Structure 1
């Protein structure tokens, strides 16, 4: 029930749709930041900032990650997707839920008149959407037990999105004025940390680590990574997330504070990142492809930003200044690491899926271009340079409390994002393929927003 059984050559019909909608959310968030909406112009935990945070983390990163997982989890486990027909419904629920949730935040911030039930309704729709995603991917993983190493990261990530959604749904009830807040008076001030770590650290980062293992090895033509380092990265990372979730809930129940929980989890997380980074460096050293493609170089640069964020975060915590640098660190993780990694991989995945869809049916019967012939790396590289330069400038501006400088830096990031979007559209339209190879007999230009499968 679902995808075709030819693993690695079938294309999930709706993956490109997830990517397209995700990029729209990213651009909307960037435009709002350039306009001065949200942090640092308003409180980091205020309704305006929550609009931006959920646009980026749910609309952009989570939607793009879901689309990628629907395509690549079957590749990781050599099993077909459990139910591809669920994927458009999940996308509709996630999109509608986010729109309603954002309307609730805007009402909470006084920007529009709206009923108090907007927040729990939006959260409920998001929970339903993520439940479909987790069920679909979870059943696919379940059918492939015992799981290969990279897929275990995804399994933990799916558990973390369940935790993130559960906390988010509870927060929506508190913010909408129900009695939940009276039962758990410390839920918002302490629970937000668990919600954020489970989402950014577990669902987004840990899942991205697992998928990147497979993609980096494939794109660099490298052998499998060090099994011991991979196990250490997974076990210590899973332990860190378990400590945050289980220890955090117990700390909330007993009202003892989260300091010890975060200290233990932070130590385990640093060990996981060290093992992961060492393993990726090993892939780089043993690669057979000496000249790396643009997407791989940018993925490694994103990984460098993750390492920098971990080092800066640990240094800030040791110096007691973590709270004052929280905004800059969060932006570095969300844009320097996660957004950079996703954009770098979209630059490869979209042409790859387009190639499969267009030239796979005629391969062996007519001359066809290579996947890299669908893109122009030299032209696209300037957009990646601008994106990362703008991101680093934005982090610096946040660290020195320059709101105007931050807006200017994000404007550069937005311009780079638009440029990369154009590159993806050109790849989808086969605009850079030589005319002699563009459309051999039997091949057709794919639809822009949905794949034929």
Structure 2
């Protein structure tokens, strides 16, 4: 990957995503939203969408703009749409949050925030899906790599989740009278959550892992039957999720497709575990870096969530503790993996931007010289300890303990973000290596306006 192939707005996506993550953690640590408020309360919806859209979706979009061209060995199509997409997503999210605050009575403005959010957010996601989808479509279908096919399925799930979310926003705003007589939320909310959190974010994260882990650990990256099975089992599972509600209308119950989807997801995660073990055991890099070590915590959180689901279902208490499951998936698995990958991706892109143009002509530092792993591993340990404590607090119904746990994850996240800023500013690179002749210090998150 050359410096010229860098996506101009990826760092802006990352910066916005981290802002929303920290903001959501501040609200949670202060007792705003669940569990102080009910799970369906507007305050809770504010925090949930700050995490799922503001943090995880912006992070995923920014990462895909950068790495999909690598997956398909093609330039990003319509790359100029990355900035309009970001602006639509940010404006739409702010309108959505404003609408929830209106519902909660926090703000009193005669502005249809929910309706605007239901228009701007789908527009932003449509631009993202169009750009990445066109890039994937430019490759013959037989030539798509395994991670690229995961991304394609994830984009389909994103489209379904966004369409449902937009319909919710329009119904709640009172601007969809044709749907006012139906209980749209009860009908589509489970599908919206499953397709958004599991399909778009979770399935795409698994697909990206099939590319990043071999790259970071120098493991064999050839496709295996297990990976293809994970792809097809997962894609089939999300198809059953989409069919669950229509099936319920016809038959009166969504149990059958729901069970099929659950079994397929369970089997897919088991086979994904085989591939993870293969990547770690067959790596050619003896000493793995901190980002890969920290990713182990995220993968453990994924399998702990699967085990927790099985235990709760067997005990008949899943509905009572679904909050704990969502928390460990959102913050243990997805956020843990996101922070771990950012710890490598940000220095890597910074190195390419700063030292790529002079590589081979002058002496340059290594990518890992931009960070200090011995110092930063403490922050990742603190983060996962906070997630584990927070999950336990939700299971036993201890809101004060949950706030303490969230404060732990907040402090760890702020420390990790500070380390990313330090890496971006080249603080850890000493002497003449910091800015050799011909190299220029990159901007924090905005591109150089003269760049092509």
Residue 72 of structure 1 is matched in structure 2 by 67
The match for 2:34 among 33, 36, 39 is 39
Name the counterpart of 2:177: 179
**Residue 7 of structure 1: CA displacement?**
6.6
Q: Which residue of 2 aligns with 1:94?
A: 89
User: Could you tell me how far apart the structure 2 residues matched to 1:419 and 1:258 are?
Assistant: 45
Pairwise CA distance, 1:176: 2.0
Residue aligning to 2:364: 368
For residue 10 of structure 1, what is the aligned residue in structure 2? Answer: 5
Whether the 8 Å CA contact 1:18–1:64 is kept in 2: the answer is: yes
* CA positional deviation for 1:109: 1.3
Partner of 1:218 in structure 2?
Answer: 215
State the match for 1:3 in structure 2. Answer: none
Q: CA deviation at 1:255?
A: 7.3
Q: Distance in 2 between matches of 1:208 and 1:280?
A: 13
State the distance in 1 between where 2:82 and 2:165 align: 22
Deviation at 1:184, TM superposition (A): 2.6
Shift of residue 180 of structure 1? 4.2
The corresponding residue for 1:319 is 315
Q: State how far apart, in whole Å, the 2-side matches of 1:8 and 1:130 are.
A: 26
Following superposition, the deviation at residue 118 of structure 1 comes to 1.6
Q: 1:367 to 1:7 in 2, by over 3 A?
A: closer
C-alpha separation between the residues in 1 aligned to 2:190 and 2:250?
A: 16
Q: Which range moved further: 41-50 or 63-72?
A: 41-50
Closer/same/farther in 2, CA of residues 249 and 109 from structure 1, 3 Å limit: farther
The equivalent of 2:430 in structure 1 is: 434
1:445 paired to 2:441: yes
Runs of 5+ consecutive residues of structure 2 not aligned to the other structure: none
**Alpha-carbon distance, 1:224 to partner:** 1.7
CA contact (8 A) 1:107 1:113 kept: yes
**Distance in 1 between residues matched to 2:383 and 2:292, nearest whole Å:** 16
Matches within 5 A, 1:293-372: 293-372=289-368
Give the drift of 1:114: 3.4
Q: Distance in 1 between matches of 2:374 and 2:40?
A: 40
Q: 2:109, 2:7 → 1: CA distance?
A: 38
Partner residue in 2 for 1:413: 409
Residue 385 (structure 1) aligned with residue 381 (structure 2): yes
Q: What is aligned with 1:145?
A: 140
User: Aligned partners of 1:230 and 1:9: how far apart in 2?
Assistant: 32
TM-score by length of 2: 0.96
Indicate the residue corresponding to 1:160 in structure 2: 157
Say whether the 8 Å CA contact 1:236–1:268 is kept in structure 2.
yes
Does the 8 Å contact 2:347/2:424 carry over to 1? yes
In the other structure, the counterpart of 1:199 is 196
1:126-165 deviation line (CA, Å, top 9, x unaligned): 0000000000000000001221111000000000110001
Deviation at residue 304 of structure 1 after TM alignment: 1.0
Once the two structures are TM-superposed, the CA of residue 227 in structure 1 deviates from its matched residue by: 1.4
Give 2:102's aligned residue.
Answer: 107
- Hey, what's the Cα distance between the residues in 1 that align with 2:80 and 2:197? 28
Kept in 1: contact 2:17–2:55 (CA 8 A) = yes
- CA RMSD of superposed structures (Å): 1.4
Q: Cα distance, 1:117 vs. partner?
A: 2.8
Residue 53 (1) aligns with residue 51 (2):
no
Choose from 238, 252, 264 the match for 1:241. Answer: 238
Secondary structure of the 1:324 match is helix
Does the CA-based 8 Å contact 1:70-1:137 persist in structure 2?
yes
User: CA separation of 1:8/1:237 partners in 2, compared to 1, >3 Å: closer, same or farther?
Assistant: farther
Paired residue secondary structure (1:114): coil
Corresponding position: 1:281 with 2:277: yes
Residue deviations 1:238-281 (CA, integer Å, cap 9, x gap) = 00000001233342x43724333221111010111111111111
Cα deviation 1:36-56 (Å, max 9, x = unaligned): 111101111121111111000
Which residue number corresponds to residue 264 of structure 2? 268
> Structure 1 CA distance, aligned partners of 2:178 and 2:383?
42
1:285 CA drift (Å): 1.0
Aligned-partner Cα distance in 1 for 2:415–2:380: 9
Identify which range, 241-250 or 404-413, moves more after superposition.
241-250
Deviations 1:349-396 (A, max 9, x none): 000000000001101110000100111001111110111111111111
Distance, in Å, in 2 between the alignment partners of 1:7 and 1:247 is 45
Q: Provide the residue aligned with 2:18 in structure 1.
A: 23
Report the TM-score, using the length of structure 1 for normalisation. 0.96
Q: Is the 8 A contact 1:164 1:196 kept in 2?
A: yes
Query: Is the partner of 1:325 in helix, strand or coil?
Result: helix
Distance 1:227 1:100 in 2: 44
Instruction: Render the CA deviation track for 1:173-213: whole Å, top value 9, x for unaligned.
Output: 2222343444433x212311100000001000000000111
User: Secondary structure of the equivalent of 2:80?
Assistant: helix
Q: Which runs of 4+ in 1 moved over 3 A?
A: 6-9, 180-183
- State the shift of 1:8 in Å: 8.2
